[in-house]
């Protein structure tokens, strides 16, 4: 706010903020949550690198008229070697990429097993996983992000904290709502969106939440319904944590 920005003026401004009480308390995550978040971020990094690695192999073969096609993860190596069988140079190049891919797969499997072990020994995560669509990654991501449920006065605040509420511009008679804010933790927001996608498109188990999402998709669009269900999931999971309760399959339960 001052005309001249220097260390002296910055120190005076900080002192004024502290003296007037014009600041908010921030939450520092516990060391355990920070360590588990590092595990998840590392695993996600390897997932992305493995996908990029496979796409690089596919892209390198395509100019030669060779297409890998849709194959399982276990058959990918065999398929690539079959395509390069009669081309020694190409086979040599692809072998280097395939060996690197094997290393990525092994290390990713170790990290994934660690995630499963952590969730298996955590009663709260197991309770979260009773919700259709919520798997180990989503359950652990939500727990490590929220860390302490008591810091939210209302469960509905969790959706806004994770950037799953729409933007709003209001001035006089103008009141416009836009896309979601996407503030807060992007990893957990993405995990909740994936869980909502699985619930609405793959899960065969009907719940009051899924029925609500399906009705919303018919009125609006499937993408908006997924976002709305993801926000509902955040609220429900926080309430389950706060009340030490279980997932309610029906609206009357």
Q: Confidence band (pLDDT; 50, 70, 90) for 31?
A: very high
188, burial (CB in 10 Å: exposed 0-12, middle 13-18, buried 19+) = buried
- Nearest CA to 252 out of 204, 207, 195 is that of 207
Alpha carbon 56 to its chain's center: 24
Ranking 121-125, 165-169, 184-188 by mean pLDDT, the lowest is 165-169
Q: Is the pLDDT of residue 190 over 60?
A: yes
- pLDDT at site 22: 76
Mapped onto helix, strand or coil, the DSSP state of residue 139 is helix
Q: Is the pLDDT of residue 72 over 70?
A: yes
- pLDDT at site 253: 42
Contacts of 111 (CB under 8 A, 6+ apart): 39, 42, 43, 46
Q: Is the pLDDT of residue 184 over 50?
A: yes
Q: Is the pLDDT of residue 233 over 50?
A: yes
Angle formed at CA 57 by CA 56 and CA 62, multiple of 5 degrees: 100
Q: In angstroms, rounded to a whole number, what is the distance separating the alpha carbons of residues 219 and 235?
A: 22
- pLDDT at site 174: 82
Q: Cβ distance 229 to 196 under 8 Å?
A: yes
**pLDDT greater at residue 251 or residue 153:** 153
Q: Which residues of 92-112 are buried (b: 16+ CB within 10 A; e: fewer)?
A: eebeeebeebeebbeebeebe
Q: Each residue of 108-163: pLDDT tens digit?
A: 999 999 999 999 999 999 999 999 999 999 999 999 999 999 999 999 999 999 99
- Per the prediction, the chain carries an average pLDDT of 93
**pLDDT greater at residue 24 or residue 39:** 39
**pLDDT greater at residue 172 or residue 43:** 43
Mapped onto helix, strand or coil, the DSSP state of residue 169 is strand
Q: Is the pLDDT of residue 245 over 80?
A: yes
- pLDDT at site 97: 96
Q: Is the pLDDT of residue 178 over 70?
A: yes
- Nearest CA to 142 out of 67, 230, 65, 71 is that of 230
- pLDDT at site 252: 52
In DSSP notation, 67-94 reads ---S--TTTHHHHHHHHTTT-HHHHHHH
């Amino acid at each position: 706010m001052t005309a001249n920005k220097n260390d002296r003026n910055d120190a005076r401004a900080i002192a004024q903020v502290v003296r007037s009480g014009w600041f908010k308390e921030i939450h520092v995550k516990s060391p355990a949550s920070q360590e588990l978040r590092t595990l998840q971020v590392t695993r996600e990094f390897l997932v992305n690198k493995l996908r990029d690695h496979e796409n690089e192999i596919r892209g390198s073969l395509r100019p030669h008229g060779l297409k890998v096609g849709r194959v399982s993860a276990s058959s990918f190596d065999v398929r690539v070697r079959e395509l390069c069988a009669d081309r020694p140079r190409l086979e040599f190049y692809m072998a280097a990429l395939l060996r690197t891919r094997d290393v990525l797969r092994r290390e990713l499997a170790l990290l994934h097993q660690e995630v499963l072990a952590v969730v298996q020994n955590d009663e709260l995560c197991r309770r979260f996983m009773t919700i259709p669509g919520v798997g180990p990654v989503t359950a652990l991501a939500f727990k490590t992000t929220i860390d302490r449920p008591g810091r939210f006065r209302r469960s509905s605040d969790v959706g806004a904290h994770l950037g799953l509420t729409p933007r709003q511009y209001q001035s006089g008679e103008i009141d416009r709502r836009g896309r979601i804010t996407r503030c807060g933790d992007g990893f957990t927001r993405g995990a909740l969106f994936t869980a909502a996608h699985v619930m609405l498109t793959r899960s065969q188990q009907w719940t009051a939440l899924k029925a609500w999402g399906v009705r919303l998709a018919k009125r609006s669009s499937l993408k908006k319904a997924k976002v709305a269900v993801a926000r509902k999931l955040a609220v429900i999971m926080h309430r389950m944590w706060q009340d030490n309760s279980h997932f309610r399959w029906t609206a009357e339960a």
